[in-house]
A and B are shown apart, each in its own frame.
Chain A
Amino acid sequence: MALDRKVCLLTGAGGRLGSEFCRRFAAKYAIAAVCRRRGVDGVPDQNQRMFDPLDPGTAVAENQSDIFVIRANLAAAQETTRIVELTMARFGRIDFLVNAAVYYHWSPMIDDDALAMSAEQQFLINAIVPLRLSLAVVRACWRDRQADNAAYNRCIVNVSSTSGLHVYPGTGQSIYSASKAALNYLTCHMADEFRRIGIRVNGVAPTSFPSIVKTETVAAAIDRMMESDITGRLLVLDREREYYSP
């Protein structure tokens, strides 16, 4: 709990990338970590604290860099309001929103019924939830605080994928790819519309992690986008290079 840290609302905190982000940046940001089930291994929160077994009554410094875990099912629309309210109740403000929750089902279009059945869920979690949560934060915290928004350099970072930019033949990524492409365009439109209230909106589009790029590289890229002054851009982390799109 520290208002000397900027407040970051992070979805997908229990996943590989979200966990890495929490581990790396819990000391830097006050993180409200939205998880489907449990907290983040190795990061103190309101339900898990470190202690010294031989001196259990003495405060441990690592607990200062704790996160606030919000267990929520993002697929449920009513959860959006609760997430924002809990974050505000805990920290009093929101400075960054990182939409890192993801849902994917990769399989061939012709031969697998499950692909079409998963389409709504993939679009929901990968594109519609970021929209819902962004709007909830904007309306609850940001839309009439232009000066604060500038002072805190407030922004949204949407975690996309190079699958939203390229077709990878034979991988069964069709719906996933389309949902990430939707997120990319949504990011650009949000940047355009939120500019007038002083909110930046960007995306980070990594290729596969940790197999091709390191998870910590992706987490660091999100942090760079939060710290930057740009808006309406997509930072692509591809196999051999980083670049901005469009």
Chain B
Amino acid sequence: MRLDLWLDSRRWWRRTEPFPHIVASNVFKATTYEALAKSFGEILDRGFSELPEGGTRFCRSMKGYDAYGYRMPLDIEGPLSVFVSREWHDMLAGIFGVDATDEIEAALHHHAGTSKTGWVHNDLNPGWFIDRQRPDGIIISDPTACNYQTGKSLRADATPYERVRAIALIFYLGNPPWKPGDGGETGLYKLRTARPEHPDAAVPPLNNTLVAFECTPYSFHTFLSNRSPRSTAIMWLHRRKEDVVERWGAGAIEEWR
């Protein structure tokens, strides 16, 4: 995969307020974006489950988060696999200067119209993996082998190990035309105690755009309530836990609620 052939805009933005993050529009060339949106739509067309279930369609599986999720499977192929590719991983790590460790957790999210605003959080969470590398060295979280959030082993041959989220990325796709007032933005905040509905900055869910940031104790963000459906591909790169502890202290890691 050659990202230079996939990417459209080679001018992305690095912003410092309210915390360091990047935004980019026209991320992929039109044909690539259309293929991504089509793949997303095909999964969406499988329908929704109101209960957690394994793997084939969007379901409600995120506690306290008013969205349907679909975890990208280990064997994902086609356009959406770009988000779990070695090239994408290394590009993001390079942009943020993060010593990322090859593990990726990736999912698709879908907020129906009028989903609730989320809570302000920073994504500096642990993530558990088993050492099952693809040929390119990338390791994707495997929910059949271990629980990503707790590390609980689900197979006799699985030996989970812990990482911490290093970089979060949200890519907007397959959404209806957006205008101010439609909501569904990603709100960004200086403080954890900020009122969610008053973000210091907000990234609108415009198709073929992305927002990404290094997960730190201060990368406060949340989903803002929407009036029309909002769909995203979302992913996290990871780093060694000891690097996080050395930089911010063990207490900085946000255990899952």
Residues of A at under 8 Å CB distance from B? 38, 47-54, 56, 60, 62
Contact = CB atoms under 8 A, between A and B. Distances in A.
B254 interface: no
A51 B17 CA distance: 16
Nearest to B91: A53
B201 interface: yes
B11 A62 contact: yes
B14 interface: yes
Which applies to chain A's interface (DSSP): helix, strand, loop or mixed?
loop
Contacts of A54: 3-4, 7, 10, 91
A50 B16 contact: no
A60 B15 CA distance: 15
Nearest to A50: B11
Interface of B: 3-4, 7, 10-17, 24, 91, 94-95, 201
Contact of A48 (B4, B14, B95): B14
B15 A47 contact: yes
Contact of B15 (A48, A56, A62): A48
A52 B10 contact: yes
Contact of A50 (B3, B4, B12, B17): B12
B16 A47 contact: yes
Contacts, number: 39
A23 to B, nearest CB: 14
Contacts of B4: 54
Interface secondary structure of B, over-half rule: mixed
A53 B16 contact: no
A47 B91 contact: no
Per CB-CB distance, the 10 closest pairs between chain A and chain B, nearest first, are A48-B15, A47-B16, A50-B11, A56-B95, A52-B10, A47-B17, A53-B12, A49-B14, A48-B13, A51-B14
B25 to A, nearest CB: 10
Given A54-B3, A54-B4, A49 B13 contact: yes
16 contacts: A38-B201, A47-B15, A48-B15, A49-B13, A50-B11, A50-B12, A50-B13, A50-B14, A51-B11, A51-B14, A52-B10, A53-B3, A53-B91, A53-B95, A54-B91, A56-B95
A215 to B, nearest CB: 18
Contacts of B17: 38, 47
Nearest to B97: A56
Given A48-B15, A50-B13, A51-B14, 7 more contacts: A38-B201, A51-B95, A53-B24, A53-B91, A54-B3, A54-B7, A54-B10
| Most chain B CB atoms below 10 A, which of A38, A47, A49, A53 | A53
Contacts of B13: 48-51
A149 B14 CA distance: 37
A53 B6 CA distance: 12
B16 A51 contact: no
A50 B9 CA distance: 11
Nearest to B94: A56
Contacts of A49: 13-14
Nearest to A42: B13
A62 to B, nearest CB: 7
B147 to A, nearest CB: 33
B10 A53 contact: yes
Nearest to A60: B11
Contacts of A38: 17, 201
Contacts of A53: 3, 7, 10, 12, 24, 91, 95
A222 to B, nearest CB: 26
Contacts of B91: 53-54
A135 B99 CA distance: 53
A57 to B, nearest CB: 8
Contacts of A62: 11
B15 A51 contact: no
A7 B223 CA distance: 40
B139 to A, nearest CB: 23
A49 B201 CA distance: 16
Nearest to B16: A47
B210 to A, nearest CB: 10
A7 to B, nearest CB: 23
B16 A48 contact: yes
A52 B11 contact: yes
A146 to B, nearest CB: 40
A226 to B, nearest CB: 28
B212 to A, nearest CB: 10
